[in-house]
Amino acid sequence: MAAAHLLRASSSRASVLFVIVAVFAGFSEGREAGRDELFAETLRDEAVARLYELGKVTDADGHLERTFLSPAFTRASKQVLDWMKDAGLKTWVDQMGNVHGRVDGRNASAEALLIGSHIDTVIDAGFYDGTLGVISAIAAVKALMKKGRLNDLKRPVEVIAFSDEEGVRFQSTFLGSSAVAGILPAKAFEISDKSGATLRDVLKANSLEATEESLIQLKYDPSSVWGYVEVHIEQGPVLEFLGYPLGVVKGIAGQTRLKVTVGGSQGHAGTIPMAMRQDPMAASAELILFLETLCKSPAKFLNRREQCRSLSGDSIDGLVCTVGDISIWPGASNVIPGQVTFSVDLRAIDDEAREAVIFEFSEQLYEICDRRSVLCTVEQKHSAGAVRCDPALSSHLEWAARTAAREISGGFTQTQAPVMMSGAGHDAMAMSHLTKVGMLFVRCRGGVSHSPEEYVLEEDVWAAGLAIMNFLESL
């Protein structure tokens, strides 16, 4: 039954991704909708208009930037709450700034399906990352309301717009979904943003509570929840390469974020001889290049170590390492810096392999720092294990995606939706601590994301909304 073709995408960015096109069984092929039942007005036209509208809600001039509980975030959350009301949902905002909209369906006390994504963004973001999942879920509920089917739902359905998935403001990620999943520790209230404001300060300034009691209230009771579903842009090139609008996520890579601080001896750029410097900038450059070499050829390094013998393959599935943020003090062209800090973002499908790479990086880091007489510290800011999506939920989502693709193409598409791993992090990672999770990916142009160039075809926005509508109707 589950025969599979293994495809390797050929473009350079796609070459690290393997896609398993699996055959799922168990859901009827028979559902055929007339064009008027496809709700193009709600699922495509209005959804696309809302994506553009939210894309304009920004704290910055000239680019999209909407981080956790910023003024733009608050405006966006009010807008999303209104759209949830418009879709027939009962709404509220919780103590971590997450926006919720719920409909009870036929049985208010049955386990609820949670469906969501995030409305915070990276800096200089596109319009779709996170927002697409929230807007397509609201659109699907609204289409069901128009169909007069909202109160027929077998179980409660709750749409959640999470407040922080990107982790830009506090470098922590998943503040919103971790709180709902009950895995956010009280010590998280003490983390601070670049301005020095703690999470507690920021919550209080937004009239939100920051107490152990509020964390207990935020946490959902696992016995009240049936599962969590998330729609998200793929953020990679595979679906476009395969020519399919939607894909099913089989799992999400684990990730670690580190903050490396390199302290040196600040001094005059014109007077200190090269041999007498303790330059944290040059040391950071060596560390960053070493990280790149390690992640390109991990086996070369890890095989040397007894404890890493099990990881003797030439590559580690999905291993990627990035330094995306660097700060220099004091930052002037005629000053040898006193201190450099930089971020490390490291991901892999295999948690043990990810730990081994971090261990190797730290070992080499201290050696390099000793040799250069600079003082280095490494702080772990975030760590999340890889997540496997629930097979039955994934199979159900595959049926919903395939049906939507077929309906929109007028019966043309018959093949199974591709099944893939996610290298990007998602709220589903945190939600997997609460309940079973499933995800759908939506094709995006050129695989580009975390960029204003991010783009999803209007027909694919429609496919996403229709797939969720199909899924909700078949619960």
Cα–Cα dist 402/412, whole Å: 11
Q: Which is nearer to ligand GLV, 133 or 280 (CB)?
A: 133
Q: Which is nearer to ligand GLV, 166 or 279 (CB)?
A: 166
Kindly give, in sequence order, each residue whose CB lies less than 8 Å from that of residue 433, ignoring residues fewer than 6 positions away: 181, 182, 183
Q: Return the range that interacts with Mn ion (CB under 5 A); candidates 124-132, 137-145, 329-337, 384-392.
A: 124-132
Partner from ligand GLV, Mn ion, none contacting 138, C-beta within 5 to 8 A by type:
none
For 391, phi then psi, to 5°, come to -60, -40
234 lies in the binding site for Mn ion (CB under 5 A): no
What Rg, from alpha-carbon coordinates, does the chain have? Answer: 23
Q: Return the range that interacts with Mn ion (CB under 5 A); candidates 64-72, 129-137, 138-146, 185-193.
A: 129-137
| Residue in 243, 288, 284 with CA at minimum distance from that of residue 412 | 243
440 lies in the binding site for ligand GLV (CB under 6 A): no
Q: Return the range that interacts with Mn ion (CB under 5 A); candidates 30-38, 54-62, 127-135, 153-161.
A: 127-135
Cα atoms in the 13 Å half-sphere on the side-chain side of 450: 9
| Shortest CB 115 distance to Mn ion, Å | 15
Q: Return the range that interacts with Mn ion (CB under 5 A); candidates 34-42, 121-129, 223-231, 313-321.
A: 121-129
- 21 vs 9, 242, 246, 368, CA distance in Å? 12, 10, 12, 44
Q: Which is nearer to ligand GLV, 54 or 308 (CB)?
A: 54
166 lies in the binding site for ligand GLV (CB under 6 A): yes
Q: State the chain's maximal CA–CA distance in angstroms.
A: 80
Q: Return the range that interacts with Mn ion (CB under 5 A); candidates 50-58, 59-67, 87-95, 128-136.
A: 128-136
From 129, 158, 164, 407, residue interacting with Mn ion (rule: CB under 5 A): 129
Burial (CB count within 10 angstroms: exposed 0-12, middle 13-18, buried 19+), residue 216: exposed
| Shortest CB 165 distance to ligand GLV, Å | 6
Partner from Mn ion, ligand GLV, none contacting 425, C-beta within 5 to 8 A by type:
ligand GLV
Handedness of CA 258, 263, 268, 274 (dihedral sign): negative
Cα–Cα dist 262/339, whole Å: 6
| Residue in 151, 143, 120, 141 with CA at minimum distance from that of residue 229 | 141
From 130, 156, 167, 264, residue interacting with Mn ion (rule: CB under 5 A): 130
| Residue in 126, 116, 208, 129 with CA at minimum distance from that of residue 166 | 129
Considering only residues 419-438, where is the footprint of ligand GLV by CB under 6 A? Answer: 424-425
Q: Give yes or no for a contact between 343 and 323, defined as CB atoms under 8 angstroms apart.
A: yes
| Shortest CB 133 distance to ligand GLV, Å | 12
The three-point CA angle 340-343-345 to 5° equals 160
| Shortest CB 236 distance to Mn ion, Å | 12
Cα–Cα dist 336/396, whole Å: 59
Q: Which is nearer to Mn ion, 250 or 402 (CB)?
A: 250
- Binding to ligand GLV by CB under 6 A, coded x per residue (else -) over 344-363, reads --------------------
Q: Which is nearer to Mn ion, 113 or 119 (CB)?
A: 119
Considering only residues 384-403, where is the footprint of Mn ion by CB under 5 A? Answer: none
Cα–Cα dist 466/408, whole Å: 9
Partner from Mn ion, ligand GLV, none contacting 237, C-beta within 5 to 8 A by type:
none
| Shortest CB 140 distance to ligand GLV, Å | 23
Q: Which is nearer to ligand GLV, 166 or 355 (CB)?
A: 166
Query: 102 has which bridge partners?
Result: 90, 158
| Shortest CB 407 distance to Mn ion, Å | 27
Q: Which is nearer to Mn ion, 60 or 216 (CB)?
A: 60
Cα–Cα dist 352/291, whole Å: 18
Stretch (H or E) spanning 10: none
| Shortest CB 242 distance to ligand GLV, Å | 22
The footprint of Mn ion (CB under 5 A) covers 129-130
The footprint of ligand GLV (CB under 6 A) covers 166, 424-425
